[in-house]
Amino acid sequence: MHFEIIKNSTIRISFQYPSNWENNIEGNETYLFFNENYGSFRFTPVLIETTTFQIDKFLNDEYSEKKSLQPQWEDYNGLKFLHYLEESEGDENTIIHYFISGISSLLLVCSYAYDLSLHRTHKINEEILKVKEILQTIKFININKNG
């Protein structure tokens, strides 16, 4: 399924997600996509209003801060993502994979959360591959890439 987010007059984001996933909006910034049995994917684009924000510095700082979680750099369609996983702070029975990226003044935080009992199962590995396929389809339209 195709999904498009319009942040303002200059930023539009589009991507594809599995047709068997439901979607909903959480709060003002987060878009939720889920399969009831296997977890939920959250897509949160945040426009940073300060002129001093540098996405590369932010990602490198985040990498350093999460060093104990063995973060990895991953590339999806030319976009560099920081990927790591951790247990949910509010629910120790939930595992969350974070995929953090951005471009210019737009920070993109994606996460995939699922029950700990599913960790490292064949089915959850298939769902994580679907998340990575979503990341591969992200397109930014009308955005200043020189930020």
**pLDDT digits 0-9 by tens, 45-102:** 998 988 899 999 999 999 999 999 999 999 999 999 999 999 988 888 999 999 999 9
| Lowest mean pLDDT, pick from 5-9, 34-38, 44-48, 92-96 | 5-9
Using the predicted structure, report yes or no on whether residue 126 has a pLDDT greater than 90.
Answer: yes
Nearest to 38 by CA among 90, 113, 120, 133: 113
* Residue 147 in this model has a pLDDT that exceeds 80: no
**Across residues 21-36, what is the average pLDDT?**
90
93 dihedral zone (left: phi>0; alpha: psi -120 to 50; beta): alpha
Pair 131, 110: CB distance under 8 Å: yes
Q: Which single residue is written with the structure tokens 């801060």?
A: 65
When pLDDT is averaged across residues 105-127 and rounded to a whole number, the result is 93
Q: What domains are there in the chain, each with its CATH number?
A: 2-141 (3.40.1000.10)
| Per-residue pLDDT at 17 exceeds 90 | yes
**How confident is the model at residue 8, as a pLDDT?**
62
7, pLDDT greater than 80: no
Between CA 145 and CA 104 the distance in angstroms is: 6
